Amino acid sequence: MTKPEIAKLGYVSLVTQDLEKSLGFFREVIGLEETEAINGVHYLRAWGDFEHHTLSLEQGERAYVKHIGWRTKAKEDVSGFKALLGDEGIAVETIAPWSTPGIGEAIRFEAPSGHTFEIYYDVKKPKAPEHRRSVLKNQTYKAWAKGISPRRIDHVNLHTSEDWQVTYKFFQEILGFKLREYLKVDDGDQILAGWMSVTSLVHDVALVSRKKDEIPTNARLHHLSYWVDDSQDVLRAADICKEYNLPICGPGKHSISQALYLYVADPGSGCTVEVFTGGYLIFDPDWEPVAWNESERALGNTYWGDSISAKEIVKYTIEA
């Protein structure tokens, strides 16, 4: 029997303690388009995203990530994952079709990392309003309407204090992620961070292992990332963030992934957003994961630009 497969990152469901600030940040600074708002939940996407949303925002008493959505390659993969997860003894909740706007039947579960994931296939792809619609038939909205204006969602970076062997095995053997690059201890095989993907990207998800006394909860989101087309867009993003008096980290370049980055936090939720471009794509079916040693961590994180220590990075995570 063929294993079910994940096709791509779908969306992040974010709860914020200040919805007004978060909406202002994501709509005006990042420049996302709002598809609709239903029952207090706002659904947003980038100008090049076709699906109903890549981010949902709602008010809560505290900021945290409710779940992260992944779209499968085929409709039958949803039930395939449900059976596979059940065989692993993982409790699975079935979400009725379209109870989340734009998303058909889904399953929701807690991964061994402590993060809640949602898996689905059926989606709606609403057209942009006529006055915002691009003349390009292969693009949803007119580009560059406001703010940083990223093209699409790119990846998420997750932190966990759960058992590293169990979590990496689950992500690879059950969910089907391929390890592209990883950071390990100098003397041994323990993985400290792994960059994994189901697409040709260097990573659709980065998973960072933490000691239990390093993070306040066992599952954290360090950042969600939106893609811009080139390096000039990252520099422009830095200008926009400074105009809004928002502290930034970067612009800079990672050695791992070779991508350009800029980090900025949503003032409403504290959620960090990475504006991301460059890097490389992987097409080789026999790709050998690139190993970095712990002593090379600083270089792996930052080829050039602002350097952040491993301890400082933790400060920019929120509960997931």
Q: Is the pLDDT of residue 200 over 90?
A: yes
Banded model confidence at residue 201, pLDDT cuts 50, 70, 90: very high
Q: For position 307, what pLDDT does the model report?
A: 72
Q: What is the mean pLDDT of residues 150-163?
A: 97
3-state percent breakdown (helix, strand, coil) of the chain, nearest 5: 20, 40, 40
Q: What is the mean pLDDT of residues 136-146?
A: 93
Q: How far apart are the first and last CA of the chain?
A: 33
Tokens for 216, please give them: 């306040």
Are 307 and 296 within 8 A, CB to CB?
no
- Residue 172, CA distances (Å) to 5, 135, 147, 188, 194 in order: 11, 40, 36, 20, 11
**Residues forming a β-bridge with 233:** none
CA angle 317, 9, 140 (to 5 degrees): 115
- Give Cβ neighbours of residue 140 (< 8 Å, ≥ 6 apart): 33, 45, 47, 48, 49, 50, 127, 128, 133, 134
Q: What is the mean pLDDT of residues 207-220?
A: 93
**Residue 267, preceding peptide bond in cis (omega within 30° of 0):** no
pLDDT, the chain, mean = 95
Q: For position 269, what pLDDT does the model report?
A: 97
Backbone angles phi, psi at 28, to 5 degrees: -95, -40
Q: What is the mean pLDDT of residues 128-150?
A: 94
CA angle 223, 226, 229 (to 5 degrees): 145
Tokens for 207, please give them: 């998973």
Q: For position 182, what pLDDT does the model report?
A: 97
pTM: 0.95
List, in order of start, the domains of the chain with CATH numbers.
6-132 (3.10.180.10), 152-319 (3.10.180.10)
Q: What is the mean pLDDT of residues 109-123?
A: 98
